Structure 1
């Protein structure tokens, strides 16, 4: 479940709430009880590190990493040009 940040326009109280994405936005401030809450926009609090993520595998351009390590062989035999 994501953590949403809220702020109150009336008393400027700020807090975080753990909610499902399908839950409606909170509207009542827990401090002053005014219906002046709004969701703040913030960045996610995690970073994907290690092999297998975009930053390490695909970010460096058009060259794709060959995960099989077979030098580009597709594993299927090439079609023969001889007609028997």
Structure 2
């Protein structure tokens, strides 16, 4: 299950939730109970493993 990061625009409360892809996004802040919560997007880490990622690993010789 993916983890999503949320922040309330009203009180600034940051929290994370484990949610299914089918679950609706959270809109109500669990701290101040206002409908000001927005999902925070961030860069996804990428890790390259194995061969084929360097100039010397692929192509004709």
Q: Give the TM-score band, short-chain normalised.
A: 0.7 to 0.9
Instruction: For residue 15 of structure 1, report the CA deviation from its aligned partner.
Output: 0.2
Runs of 4+ in structure 1 off by over 3 angstroms are none
- Give how far 1:57 is off: 1.6
Provide Cα deviations, 1:48-74, integer angstroms capped at 9, x if missing partner. Answer: 5xxxxx44322113617xxxxxxxxxx
Corresponding residue number in structure 2 for 1:36: 36
* Alignment gaps of 5+ in structure 1: 49-53, 65-84
The structure whose Rg is larger is: 1
Gaps of 5+ in 2: none
Compute the RMSD of aligned alpha carbons: 2.2
Deviations 1:5-60 (A, max 9, x none): 0000000000000001121100000000000000001244x765xxxxx4432211
Aligned residues: 58
Aligned to 1:6: 6
Residue matched to 2:50: 56
> What TM-score results when the alignment is normalised by the length of structure 2?
0.78
Greater relative contact order (Cα < 8 A, sep 6+): 2
